[in-house]
Amino acid sequence: MSAAALLRPRRRTLALLIAALILLVWVARAVTPRAVLAALQQLTPVELLALLALNLLIFASFAGRWWVFLRAQGHAIAYTRLLAYRLTAFGISYFTPGPHFGGEPYQVLAVVRGHRTPPAAAIAAVTLDKVLEMLVNFAFLAAGVLLLLTQGHDLGHILGAGPAVQLAVYLLLLLALPAGLLAALGRGRHPLSEALRRLDRLAGRLPKRQQGHAGMIPPIWLVTLRRSEAQAGLLCREHPRALWAALAVSFLSWLGVIGEFWLLTAVLGLQLTPVEAITALVAARLAILLPLPAGLGALEAGLALATRGLGLDPSIGVALSLLIRARDTLFGLLGLWLGSVQLWQLAAPMAPDLGPPANIDRQNPASPA
């Protein structure tokens, strides 16, 4: 690999850190530390404990979809173990660029090495878990943005009418991605492995100096991914109750997120209308979609802008973001610690094994094309 190729990730990381620094500087100039501290001092120990307890319940639901999909394939793993793995995956995702991705390979590794789950079944469960998470998240965000636009205030006032409409369109397009992927899997298609196969062929036609490395994708990866897609498709068709159960878990999680956000605003002394609360929540959720580690700077700036657009002191928004960041950092660090404890159990070498199709298969779902 060339020196330029080695420098590209470092340049991207540096650019992201500069962007985060710019946002943090803007936030520091928009508010005063004394006002932020005054807002945080309103919290009592009882309120902090209530927030922590509610967050523990919400996070406990995050492994629900994964547990449902593994169980539907005949792999009954203790929920507490999956929750520990999910917490570690959250820690990995949170502290890397793009806080919604990064920990999924660890989830696959944990159940494959720790519980002898066939790789195809493990990847299928994690893929469906992530697709449904994205589907429900984008659906709530798109619905929230459309609601605010139809109400004719708040979001349009903060962003301007044009950017607000563009945001709604972008969210609908993002919503179409997981929806289309889920529909394709349910129809027996293999969109991910087919896309990687075509990418591999395209890379093979490029001159050597334009390739990151020769042999871009190992054939065994394509075979395993194709089998996992076939497994996911069979699960969708033969176990629709598992899909509905996973969707129910997702909606319950979102209800918990909404309730926790409302409680956060209440303990900070805010008396927001439902539309105002949705505005602030949408701003917070959109901010962490930006490809910054832990949404650094974006979360603070997003909530400061949202509260200022609502006619409130932006210091309240920054205080709100600090509470959210303290919560996520606590869970992220706990997850990384658990991962370090689990690592020695997963480090034992295993022979490569694609594994037989899980017991939901009634026919050979895929051939290694």
Q: Model's pTM, two decimal places?
A: 0.80
Tokens 């459309």, residue? Answer: 146
Task: Assess whether pLDDT exceeds 90 at residue 248.
Answer: yes
Please list, in sequence order, all residues whose beta carbon lies within 8 angstroms of the beta carbon of residue 296, skipping any fewer than 6 positions away.
Answer: 20, 23, 24
Maximum C-alpha span of the chain = 66
CA angle in degrees (0–180, nearest 5) for 214-218-219: 125
pLDDT digits (tens, 9 = 90+) for 29-44: 888 888 899 889 888 9
pLDDT at 222: 84
Question: What whole-number distance in Å separates Cα of residue 51 and Cα of residue 53?
Answer: 6
Reduce the DSSP state of residue 155 to 3 states and report it.
helix
Task: Assess whether pLDDT exceeds 50 at residue 86.
Answer: yes
| Cβ-contact 40, 316 below 8 angstroms | no
| Cβ-contact 205, 198 below 8 angstroms | no
Query: Taking residues 294-304, what's their average pLDDT?
Result: 82
For residue 236, what is the DSSP state? Answer: H
- Report the interhelical angle of 119-151 vs 274-287 (nearest 10°): 140
Query: Taking residues 312-318, what's their average pLDDT?
Result: 88
